[in-house]
Structure 1
Amino acid sequence: MKLAKKMTAILLTSAIFIPFHSEAKASSCEVDSQNLIEINKLLTDKAKEFSIPPEVVKAIALRENDTWDQSKVSDDDGDGHPDGIGLMQVTDTGTGGVHFDKDKLKNDVCYNVEAGLTILEDKWRNSPIPVVNHSERNVIENWYFAIMAYNGIVPSNSPIDKSGNINDDAYQNVVYDYIDKYSFLSDYPLKRLAFKVGDFSYDPNDGQSFRFIKKEFTEGRKLTRSSLNFNEENIATTVDSVNFYIDSQGINKAGTLSKNTLVDVLDEKHNTQEKGFTSDRHWVRYNVKVLDGSNRVGYVASSYLQPVTSRISGNTRYDTAVEISKEGWFEGAETVVIAVGDNFPDALAGTTIAQSYNAPILLTESKKLNNKTKNEVKRLKAKHAIILGGASAVSAEVEKTLENLGLDTQRLSGSDRYRTAIDVAKHLSQKQTSNKAILATGANFPDSLAIAPYAAENGIPIFLSNQDKDSIDSETLKLLNQKEEVLIVGDKGVVSEKIVNSIRTKTTRIGGKDRYDTAKKIIEQLDLGQHDAYVATGLNFADALTGASLAGKRQSPILFSKEKELPSSMNQLIRNRKFSNLTILGGVDVVGTDNALANAANTAW
């Protein structure tokens, strides 16, 4: 990349979290650097590999190199040393302790693109930039400051000037303009973050000085997800009226789809219009089935689509937990939380502890750690493992396997599920304190997991009551009475009035006629979620447990569905709360209500 002049040196001081891809892998890529369609595919494929929206990567490439010319070498200051090499205009100085081979940057377009994305990934992870909207990677607006850092954290890239006027010439603003114009055809523009003069501090006469005063930006409006990352798990909606074609090249028009038409994406293939292709043709066409009752099949431009439903799943509950971990912790995690995958009691209180460590929850069989979970622990580069439950739940053999992987282990457990919840709460109190507590039944999982994202986000411990004995443990009661308020989850049939009356501090009950209605009331009464929600089966605990850690991280609620039927309470909730983007957890064999979910969410568009 061509760095802005006088870039502050702090950008290159942190070691990048993942190493640059091997030379063998980079040089094995067979791409004709003179063929723009092949370059377009290369940029898309590498963006997906790095989990970066392809729209961002293509726009940066265009900003750096307006003809996508791999042979381009820039020497803007005439000092004889390149300021930018190849497609991504990278220099051999590297980033985060990773140095690049100058000859490969010039001669190998695949190596050049990987180098550019390694730099961008380093800026996302390690630059001293603000966080945007919990840093979900597939949301394009969240990349604003990483794009700035790719060019340089310098006054010329300040989002606004000293008077508060938008700096249209800032590198990241130009890149965003390109995304609007060439990926979305300006029909669905990106949301611009609201900046104030006090958000930044810099001396216009000193290019070395630029500081972020505000460390986090939260945008309440509906943001833009990549429309170049669709696969066969997605249902999308049209954000405006759009031409519908029989063929992928856009020659034979079969009509027009009106705004807010749902389409089922049939595969992830990018169909590029080859005739007259140029470096600013960033959108593609997807093969879709129209969900208006006609079941027409054809092609629609990506620039007019936004996802309504997507899915995170694996072949088993253990695999789904791994996929959730990859989605939420792509950059890695120092700590993992380990729970047994075939029973819920010891894991019910675990979401809050996972959030306190910014850790995913992974599932294990009682007697052994399966290979996929083991490989995910390695990918995360985890150093610590918190095990939920005693050796009868998660065996000493599993603990030993984790230790052999180089992890320190800590077990949170008690003589039963109620005591385990107490041990988790006591451990949590050493890291953070809350003046609230949550009490739910220990006899079943839905109520605890429905409120788990809220508990995780706010650091609130979850305690369990014994429905059979119509009582709570004396130690649980003692800890509850130390709080200012206890949220009782579930109606009187699951947490009795006798139990509630034994609590001396303030209590607030949130309960419904069934698990689905209780989940609805939790979200309504606590005012949870804005635009996004996760959906898990209400009939089994595993996906909701591991998904709750991701939902808490992204400040989104968990909804429950039956296998083939969306409960009316959930349907009504989605429509009333205007949830427009739903992520389904688990396979179609556990949640097969995609169409019903999409129809409910589409009303928010």
Structure 2
Amino acid sequence: MFKKALPFLLVSSLFFGFFSPATSMAEEDYEIPTYYETNKLLTEAALAKNIPPEIAKTLAYQESGWNQFKDGQPYVAPDGGIGIMQVTNDDRFDENLLKTDIKYNINAGLQKLDEKFRGVDGKLPTLNNNDRDILESWYFAILAYNGRVEENSPLKLTTDGSRNAEAYQEKFFKLMNDSFYIGMDIHPIPFDFKPEDFEYSGEPDHLLIFKKDHYEIPEHLLHKTEHKFTQNDILLSADSANFREAPTSLSKSLKDLPSGEREAVRVLDTSFVYDQSNKYGLADDKMRFRQYVWYKVEMQDGRTAYTASSDLTHLGKRLYGKTRYDTAVSISQEGWKDGADAVVLAYGGDFPDALAGTPLAYQLDAPMLLTGVSSLPDSTKAEIKRLTPKAAYILGGTGAISKNVETELKQLGITEINRLGGKTRFETANEIAMHMPNKGDKAVLAYGRNFPDALAIAPYAAKNGYPILLTETNTIPAETANILNDFSQTLVAGGYGVISDNAIANLNTVRFRGADRFGTNADIVRKLDMGSEQAFVATGYNFADALTGAVLAAKKNSHLLLTPPTVIKDPIKTTILEKNYDHFQFLGGKSVVGVENELGKMIKEIDYEK
């Protein structure tokens, strides 16, 4: 049965006593939870049901003004809606508990909302991949929570097809933007609605009928929940944000950014904390909009501070460890959370044998981990135990990775060990290529005496099944030349100084080049599309982090960007703006890839209308 929405002004007035309950439990007075307690209850219940807390808290506010009780009695609206979530007309729930138990009422309301989202009582239109963490994904579930009726049509019931600002879900997102999450710019929702998307049943039910079942919206226009940031996430502050000593705006300010300035910060703790303004003597009636949470972060100057979730935008994540071996483990844990059937092992002290390994690792869905010559580092061992792989692929001969490592792998329970190595780096690359389960019609040719060009093109090569083969500057080794004859085209990574025209004269080639390694990287990224709005960032002066991260980049359909430690080179900067990248995975610690603040400042320069 359709439950009519309360107008926004009336909902807000619940705080000030303009309504009295339609019914009451009469004899017993119930303790009214504080706004702090209600915020906590709504947040934790929403997270338990995998619903964005922003959605749950705004819904509860629009329904009841966060009132489970009124004047000590259960709040029951004139239309029969009960309590904070205004649950009504559902025999599955105990009416007495709906009236007297706020936790029960919240869970009942969120259960109903979740069922709407999942289409339990009728399929609703979906958005993109229907990511539950995206706030806009809940648009139609919010509509259905109030009722699939004509007055909740996203468009006015006229031929002009203008937006219906009075629809329940439209007022919901306006409330979220204007009152709860000021500055999110979440309203109006950027759905491309057309009159033909909807039909109306008319008398007697006045039902809304969906004729279109899916909408696609560019990712950069969407908003993700701000309650799921995790340790080592890189977040971009709001313009002129304040950083506080404690999780409340009433505490001492440690830094106030000037107008027009934003700062990239790193999340330090694994979870958020609730606003503590109540501990600073703030009256409860002034707490009702302080339902955001706070994160402990590391600022650019190295100091720690607290900042409100409503001031933060997700920029990316830093994957790093104390050593290159630990960083490889961090990358593995990010990309292979549930384990892997295989691992690829490369020598952590030098790059030659591993340059060609990314396409193989990608096809095996295997993380690339680093090892020493004669033994596995402790962190690598621990990660292999976590992954529980059945097979391992060792890149390189016994001179690079000894047989003792094979013994250690067997002790870790790996039953299948494959060593892919030749007398030279060129032979090793060929051997790796021959073991790729699936090969495309093209191959990549890169200079074998340095790493940047091969790693810059590695994610694209891996994604497309193109083996990476190595060459000298003026001569392609004979064994490599023979393999290249099997491919219709060769993608040459690097300029004339690293691979001469004479060397590739007999091949059908496409060359990617720039004035230096960063220019070549930029040329590769600009011309070879991966389809993602995020990129991986690694130092261009060492191979290890880019090597192990390239496999994860391929898995995420992302390019790899190389950079000096503290500044982004102009070709890469131009490419970021052209490709509209707005999320980044930072491979390695701040000392080797500390450009997050510069990237954050660039985000606002991106023109999404190009």
Q: In which range does the TM-score fall when normalised by the shorter chain?
A: 0.5 to 0.7
In the alignment, is residue 444 of structure 1 matched against residue 450 of structure 2?
yes
Aligned to 1:491: 495
Q: Is the 8 A contact 2:360 2:462 kept in 1?
A: yes
Aligned to 1:592: 594
Aligned to 1:219: 218
Give the C-alpha shift of residue 488 in structure 1. Answer: 0.6
CA 1:518/1:289 → structure 2, altered by over 3 Å: closer, same or farther? same
In the alignment, is residue 185 of structure 1 matched against residue 159 of structure 2?
no
Q: Is the 8 A contact 1:319 1:372 kept in 2?
A: no
Give the C-alpha shift of residue 499 in structure 1. Answer: 3.0
Q: How does 1:167-178 map to 2 (within 5 A)?
A: none
Q: Is the 8 A contact 1:130 1:145 kept in 2?
A: no
Aligned to 1:22: none
Give the C-alpha shift of residue 461 in structure 1. Answer: 0.9
Tell me, in whole angstroms, the C-alpha distance in 2 between the residues paired with 1:159 and 1:372.
Answer: 53
In the alignment, is residue 37 of structure 1 matched against residue 33 of structure 2?
no
Q: In the alignment, which of 449, 464, 470 is matched to residue 469 of structure 2? A: 464
Tell me, in whole angstroms, the C-alpha distance in 2 between the residues paired with 1:116 and 1:461.
Answer: 49
Q: Is the 8 A contact 2:361 2:367 kept in 1?
A: yes
CA 1:561/1:53 → structure 2, altered by over 3 Å: closer, same or farther? farther
Give the C-alpha shift of residue 316 in structure 1. Answer: 3.3
Letter in 2 for 1:487: L
In the alignment, is residue 338 of structure 1 matched against residue 334 of structure 2?
no
Give the C-alpha shift of residue 79 in structure 1. Answer: 3.4
Give the C-alpha shift of residue 219 in structure 1. Answer: 1.2
Q: Is the 8 A contact 1:438 1:487 kept in 2?
A: yes
Give the C-alpha shift of residue 311 in structure 1. Answer: 1.8
Give the C-alpha shift of residue 128 in structure 1. Answer: 12
Q: 1:76-100: CA deviations, max 9, x gaps? A: 445365599889xxxxxxxxxxxxx
Letter in 1 for 2:292: W
Give the C-alpha shift of residue 489 in structure 1. Answer: 0.4
CA 1:271/1:85 → structure 2, altered by over 3 Å: closer, same or farther? same
Q: Note the residue ranges of structure 1 that are not aligned, 5 or more in a row.
A: 5-31, 88-102
In the alignment, is residue 373 of structure 1 matched against residue 372 of structure 2?
no
Give secondary structure in 1 for the equivalent of 2:458. helix
Q: 1:208-232: CA deviations, max 9, x gaps? A: x999966x94616454355452767
CA 1:265/1:419 → structure 2, altered by over 3 Å: closer, same or farther? closer
Q: How does 1:10-89 map to 2 (within 5 A)?
A: 34=33, 36-38=35-37, 40-41=39-40, 55=54, 58=57, 67=66, 76-77=88-89, 79=91, 81=93
Aligned to 1:413: 420
Give the C-alpha shift of residue 362 in structure 1. Answer: 4.1
Give secondary structure in 2 for the equivalent of 1:588. coil
Letter in 2 for 1:420: E
Aligned to 2:355: 348
Tell me, in whole angstroms, the C-alpha distance in 1 between the residues paired with 2:93 and 2:319.
Answer: 46
Give secondary structure in 2 for the equivalent of 1:417. helix
The structure with the largest alpha-carbon Rg is 2
Tell me, in whole angstroms, the C-alpha distance in 2 between the residues paired with 1:233 and 1:449.
Answer: 24
CA 1:245/1:202 → structure 2, altered by over 3 Å: closer, same or farther? same
CA 1:199/1:538 → structure 2, altered by over 3 Å: closer, same or farther? farther
Q: Is the 8 A contact 1:119 1:150 kept in 2?
A: no
Q: Is the 8 A contact 1:340 1:364 kept in 2?
A: yes
Q: Which moved more, 1:587-596 or 1:262-271?
A: 262-271
Q: Is the 8 A contact 1:562 1:591 kept in 2?
A: yes
CA 1:304/1:155 → structure 2, altered by over 3 Å: closer, same or farther? same
Tell me, in whole angstroms, the C-alpha distance in 2 between the residues paired with 1:511 and 1:571.
Answer: 16
Give secondary structure in 1 for the equivalent of 2:542. coil
Q: Is the 8 A contact 1:59 1:178 kept in 2?
A: yes
Give secondary structure in 1 for the equivalent of 2:551. helix
Tell me, in whole angstroms, the C-alpha distance in 1 between the residues paired with 2:155 and 2:362.
Answer: 34
CA 1:155/1:61 → structure 2, altered by over 3 Å: closer, same or farther? same
Q: 1:292-311: CA deviations, max 9, x gaps? A: x9x99987654243244642
Q: Note the residue ranges of structure 2 that are not aligned, 5 or more in a row.
A: 4-30, 75-82
Give secondary structure in 1 for the equivalent of 2:503. helix
Letter in 2 for 1:537: T
In the alignment, is residue 428 of structure 1 matched against residue 438 of structure 2?
yes
The percentage of aligned residue pairs carrying the same residue is 26
CA 1:43/1:199 → structure 2, altered by over 3 Å: closer, same or farther? farther
Tell me, in whole angstroms, the C-alpha distance in 2 between the residues paired with 1:155 and 1:271.
Answer: 37
Tell me, in whole angstroms, the C-alpha distance in 1 between the residues paired with 2:49 and 2:128.
Answer: 19
In the alignment, is residue 320 of structure 1 matched against residue 327 of structure 2?
yes
Tell me, in whole angstroms, the C-alpha distance in 2 between the residues paired with 1:83 and 1:340.
Answer: 63
Tell me, in whole angstroms, the C-alpha distance in 2 between the residues paired with 1:230 and 1:467.
Answer: 45
Report the TM-score, using the length of structure 2 for normalisation: 0.65
Give secondary structure in 2 for the equivalent of 1:320. helix
In the alignment, is residue 401 of structure 1 matched against residue 400 of structure 2?
no
Aligned residue-pair number: 533
Q: 1:433-479: CA deviations, max 9, x gaps? A: 4x43322233333212212233344x241321232782145466445
Letter in 2 for 1:488: V
CA 1:428/1:262 → structure 2, altered by over 3 Å: closer, same or farther? same
Q: Is the 8 A contact 1:238 1:258 kept in 2?
A: no
In the alignment, is residue 363 of structure 1 matched against residue 369 of structure 2?
yes
Give the C-alpha shift of residue 500 in structure 1. Answer: 1.5
Give secondary structure in 2 for the equivalent of 1:188. coil
Q: Is the 8 A contact 2:235 2:312 kept in 1?
A: no
Give the C-alpha shift of residue 536 in structure 1. Answer: 0.9
Letter in 2 for 1:466: T
CA 1:547/1:232 → structure 2, altered by over 3 Å: closer, same or farther? closer
CA 1:520/1:460 → structure 2, altered by over 3 Å: closer, same or farther? same
Aligned to 2:8: none
Tell me, in whole angstroms, the C-alpha distance in 2 between the residues paired with 1:512 and 1:84.
Answer: 72
Give the C-alpha shift of residue 544 in structure 1. Answer: 1.7
In the alignment, is residue 238 of structure 1 matched against residue 238 of structure 2?
yes
Q: 1:146-194: CA deviations, max 9, x gaps? A: 9789989x99999899999879899987875565355522552168464
CA 1:133/1:474 → structure 2, altered by over 3 Å: closer, same or farther? farther
Q: In the alignment, which of 556, 559, 562 is matched to residue 561 of structure 2? A: 559
Aligned to 2:128: 132
Tell me, in whole angstroms, the C-alpha distance in 1 between the residues paired with 2:490 and 2:48.
Answer: 45
Give secondary structure in 2 for the equivalent of 1:370. helix
Letter in 2 for 1:184: Y
Q: Is the 8 A contact 1:75 1:83 kept in 2?
A: no
CA 1:568/1:258 → structure 2, altered by over 3 Å: closer, same or farther? same
CA 1:541/1:186 → structure 2, altered by over 3 Å: closer, same or farther? same
Report the TM-score, using the length of structure 1 for normalisation: 0.65
Q: Is the 8 A contact 2:267 2:296 kept in 1?
A: yes
Aligned to 2:24: none
